[in-house]
Structure 1
């Protein structure tokens, strides 16, 4: 019996895959297929977690350059060990596995049949050479693709942290740390926008960070700034070369190909999306990122003005990624780095 026989149990569209009740069931069905290719899935229950033997020895984590920790955490400390050996951000779309060459990677569904092929091509162009070699491109690199029947999976490096928790869960990141992450995120958006690509799901949860500097705990400005990566292009759109800027517009909800999908869309929306009016998807990206930080207060008026303009409900007042980046960069360059070594105010929404 072929190890491909159980693929008949797999979802046939990205939508049905995303809303599986048991997020691990699809990966159980793929377990033997991936194992035959040399990919060993991490054990899973409520999250993907390495077994106890590995958990007692962090040396089993093969360094990949994307998952780091500050010395403050301690190599032998429980916080470092838990974060290095557990993968919390599980969805039916992804799993974590050890690759044939010993790296820990995230395996993600990129396309099923014809569904998602346009986004897959966008992902390929951004996440592989030559674009992946540019410093201003913050798209997480795509290590390789796996084709199983009509399903294409992407293998991506596992990154340490999600920007979604940059100032929560007891993190000690300073305002300066967080501003650097926001500016890198804007640089990443400005880069893809220059290629006529809009992400359309650019909330902070879709940016991952090499590590958290936690400058408040260190009490010093970090020498090395962690790199921020943009992930999850499943809602991305690319306009053809030569398309006039006035025609680079969208209508409706990202991924809303049916009434059922629209009902299950839970992200925050600009008014134009709800009214089915044409909107600028590039400014949508900036709005989504800005909206992600409504619970964050830098306590610095120039910074707050930029963040507010990013999240402006009036489309005429919304900033582009390049404009927002230029304004934040100008402010950061005008003040001593030590002055940004302050805690943010975090609102409970």
Structure 2
């Protein structure tokens, strides 16, 4: 009897607390003024769920300021998805130690929140769905993270550890992965990666797309900032080829679409700008290939290839056989653009013919011109 009453009381309390949370994914992504740089509004939203996640073994990382959480302290436990470079040491005066950076989490929006599990491993909690909105996101993650697909070596989709329900909200628990591929090179990067390091990451990004395309999933937001890497190899800093290669993971399947096996390839098309339950089409702000500028059906798999390649457009490896493949992936004519499998085959062929020492060179990176 007491157990039943407790469940009823907990249910009433959850419903009461639920009303304090955003009503939908759009509001959760953008809960307030963009000028609020304190992070207090984001912290207040997730604060309503602090006890709920604490009861399930998860302790939030504290908020430093808007869009940045920092390590809560205590012993660091390896989660298998993030590593630091020994040559950088444990601390640096400019904060560029990769060990220090492992203890930070830059969240793009309040849909994601860093936390530490009861066993010490660091994770990221993400809001996936509210009611039925976001259901396809959940189903695609389950498709790639469950059963036999989850252990295929070519599957680079971020692992989904756990699904947690709170009233009508579905949360996913994911590993906190080391670093973004976005900082692998360029003006914003602290990493001293060689052409070989970057090409290895790029090839894994292409392999990630090839596998989800094989399964029938098109990502539709396959830009460089949606790929994560365990660590930055920094071969240029070591002045030798990296022995251990970090694994790359593809994340954020919010805009993804799935075509079941019974859908013919010629019918696997989309119309209109990518969108999701947390942002409408009119809010889409990414650079667009020609096929997105009309209302005609387009191939979303070729869109993935273009998005990945265009996000590396500022990079020149100085190896013509590699640069030519990347350029062919950016072809404005989708019918002439390489598929992910064609691109991967050509990259493998190109890299296999090059002595590894020849890739131990710095990349050429175009400096953006101010508008």
**Residue matched to 1:138:** 156
**Residue matched to 1:18:** 29
Matches within 5 A, 1:77-226: 79-168=97-186, 169-226=189-246
The 2-side partners of 1:102 and 1:150 are apart by 28
Match of 2:353 among 320, 334, 338: 334
Contact 1:239 1:248 in 2 (8 A): yes
SS of 1:277's equivalent in the other structure is: coil
SS of 1:9's equivalent in the other structure is: coil
**Residue matched to 1:33:** 52
**Residue matched to 1:302:** 321
Deviation at 1:254, TM superposition (A): 1.3
- Equivalent pairs counted in the alignment come to 342
TM-score for the superposition, normalised by structure 2: 0.88
SS of 2:110's equivalent in the other structure is: coil
The 2-side partners of 1:30 and 1:98 are apart by 15
Contact 2:89 2:99 in 1 (8 A): no
The 1-side partners of 2:263 and 2:21 are apart by 38
Residues 310-346 of structure 1 show CA distances to partners (whole Å, capped at 9, x for unaligned) of: 1111111211111111111111000100000110111
**Residue matched to 1:67:** 82
Matches within 5 A, 1:238-249: 238-249=258-269
Deviation at 1:16, TM superposition (A): 2.5
Contact 1:48 1:90 in 2 (8 A): no
Contact 2:195 2:362 in 1 (8 A): yes
**Residue matched to 2:36:** none
The 1-side partners of 2:108 and 2:329 are apart by 29
The question of 1:313 aligning with 2:328 is answered no
Match of 1:228 among 248, 253, 256: 248
The question of 1:50 aligning with 2:71 is answered yes
The 1-side partners of 2:276 and 2:162 are apart by 28
Contact 1:250 1:279 in 2 (8 A): yes
The 1-side partners of 2:319 and 2:220 are apart by 28
SS of 1:123's equivalent in the other structure is: helix
SS of 2:19's equivalent in the other structure is: helix
Deviation at 1:14, TM superposition (A): 2.2
Q: What stretches of structure 2 of length at least 5 have no aligned partner?
A: 1-8, 33-40
Contact 2:271 2:298 in 1 (8 A): yes
Deviation at 1:280, TM superposition (A): 0.3
The 1-side partners of 2:270 and 2:196 are apart by 35
SS of 1:316's equivalent in the other structure is: coil
The 1-side partners of 2:106 and 2:131 are apart by 28
The 2-side partners of 1:147 and 1:179 are apart by 40
SS of 1:105's equivalent in the other structure is: strand
Residues 174-227 of structure 1 show CA distances to partners (whole Å, capped at 9, x for unaligned) of: 011000001111111101101111011110111000000000111111111100
Larger Rg: 2
Deviation at 1:276, TM superposition (A): 1.6
TM-score for the superposition, normalised by structure 1: 0.93
SS of 2:164's equivalent in the other structure is: strand
Structure 1 pair 257/95, CA: closer, same or farther in 2 (3 Å)? closer
Contact 1:256 1:265 in 2 (8 A): no
Contact 2:114 2:123 in 1 (8 A): yes
The 1-side partners of 2:19 and 2:332 are apart by 45
Contact 2:134 2:277 in 1 (8 A): no
